[in-house]
Amino acid sequence: MNLSTNIEQNEAFLREQFHHCSDFMIRSFKLKDDTLLFIAYLDGMIRVQSVEENILKPLILGEPPLGMDRLQSLTEMIRSN
């Protein structure tokens, strides 16, 4: 799979590839600085509450997730990779 620089194309590709998989989940959201993100996971393989509290909530509120305190921002991390 080749990733695109367009997040909507990447999300659409994953949805197409996993359309038959009922436990494949995608959550899309926008950060305060208008950065678009999505997270993909298999329902039942993770605790949804953990994802919401430890990944989504810090991202949406603009707080770095645990272990990312050395970065100035999530946007910086994404753009550097």
Q: Is residue 70 part of a domain?
A: yes
Q: Are 43 and 27 contacting, i.e. CB atoms less than 8 angstroms apart? A: no
Q: Is residue 64 part of a domain?
A: yes
pLDDT for 53 equals 81
Give the model confidence (pLDDT) of 47-57 as tens digits: 888 888 877 78
Give the model confidence (pLDDT) of 1-30 as tens digits: 678 889 999 999 999 999 999 999 998 888
Q: Is residue 51 part of a domain?
A: yes
Name the domain count of the chain.
1
Q: How far is CA 36 from CA 40, 44, 45, 46, 60, in A?
A: 14, 25, 24, 23, 11
d(CA 74, CA 61) in angstroms, rounded, equals: 11
Residue 18 phi, psi dihedral angles, 5° rounding: -115, 20
Query: Is the pTM for the entire model greater than 0.75?
Result: no
Q: Is residue 2 part of a domain?
A: no
d(CA 79, CA 77) in angstroms, rounded, equals: 6
pLDDT at 72 over 70: no
